[in-house]
Amino acid sequence: MQNQPPIPNPPQAITTKDLQYLKDAMSWELLAFKKFHFLAQHAQNQDIKQALDEAGRMHQDHYNRLLSHLQVDNNAVMSSIQNQQMH
């Protein structure tokens, strides 16, 4: 199996399968954020509390990044792709 370089930018259009993957990933990230936030609120040791908060912020950032991929006008993108294929 060959190593492929990562795709520099996500695809412009989101397929139904892509959407399902994004929804699953967002659910996992949100759950992880909630768990770290809960644990940080109940931690007594400040170093542990800080580490839990940092881990929670990381998962929140991942969630927001995934959310930004959903903020596209999929219909417009699909129309432009179809128009390009016709020419």
Domain spans, the chain: 33-86
- Model confidence pLDDT, tens digit, residues 10-23: 667 778 898 899 99
pLDDT tens digits, one per residue of 49-60: 999 999 999 999
pLDDT (tens digit per residue) in 27-46: 999 999 999 999 999 999 99
pLDDT at position 26 is 96
What is the full DSSP assignment across 24-67?
HHHHHHHHHHHHHHHHHHH--SHHHHHHHHHHHHHHHHHHHHHH
Distance of alpha carbon 78 from its chain centroid, rounded? 22
With vertex at residue 26, the alpha carbon angle to CA 23 and CA 31, rounded to the nearest 5 degrees, is 125
Q: What is the pLDDT of residue 24?
A: 96
Measured CA to CA, the distance from residue 27 to residue 63 in angstroms comes to: 8
pLDDT at residue number 4: 79
